Amino acid sequence: MTWDWSYALAILPRLMVGIWCTILVTLASSAIALTAGLLLSILESVSTTLGRALLRFLLEVFRGVPILVLLYFAFYVLPEVGLTFPAMPVGIGVLGTVYAAFCSEAYRGSLITIPAELRDACLVLHLSPYTKWRRVLIPLMIKRAAPALLNYVFALFRASAFLFAIGVPVLLGEAQVAGYESFRYLEPFTLAGVFYMLMNLPFLYLLPRFKDKYSGI
| Predicted pLDDT of residue 91 | 95
Number of Cβ within 10 Å of residue 62's Cβ equals 17
| Predicted pLDDT of residue 120 | 75
| Predicted pLDDT of residue 157 | 94
| Predicted pLDDT of residue 128 | 82
**What is the model's pTM?**
0.89
Residue 21 CB contacts under 8 Å (≥ 6 apart), including other chains: 168, 169, 170, 171, 174
Cα–Cα dist 95/159, whole Å: 8
- Angstrom distances, CA of residue 188 to CA of 4, 167, 168: 11, 17, 17
| Predicted pLDDT of residue 188 | 93
Cα–Cα dist 99/161, whole Å: 15
> In terms of residues, how long is the chain?
217
What residue ranges of the chain have pLDDT lower than 70?
A: 1, 212, 214-217
| Predicted pLDDT of residue 217 | 58
**Residue 82 Ramachandran class (φ > 0 left, ψ -120 to 50 alpha, else beta):** left
Q: Are the C-beta atoms of residues 55 and 40 closer than 8 Å to each other? A: yes
Residue 119 CB contacts under 8 Å (≥ 6 apart), including other chains: 132, 137
| Predicted pLDDT of residue 121 | 82
Range of the domain at 91: 5-214
- Angstrom distances, CA of residue 164 to CA of 34, 107, 124: 23, 30, 54
User: Could you tell me how far CA 126 lies from the centroid of its own chain?
Assistant: 37
CATH code where residue 80 lies: 1.10.3720.10
Q: Are the C-beta atoms of residues 62 and 94 closer than 8 Å to each other? A: no
Total of domains in the chain = 1
| Predicted pLDDT of residue 154 | 92
| Predicted pLDDT of residue 216 | 55
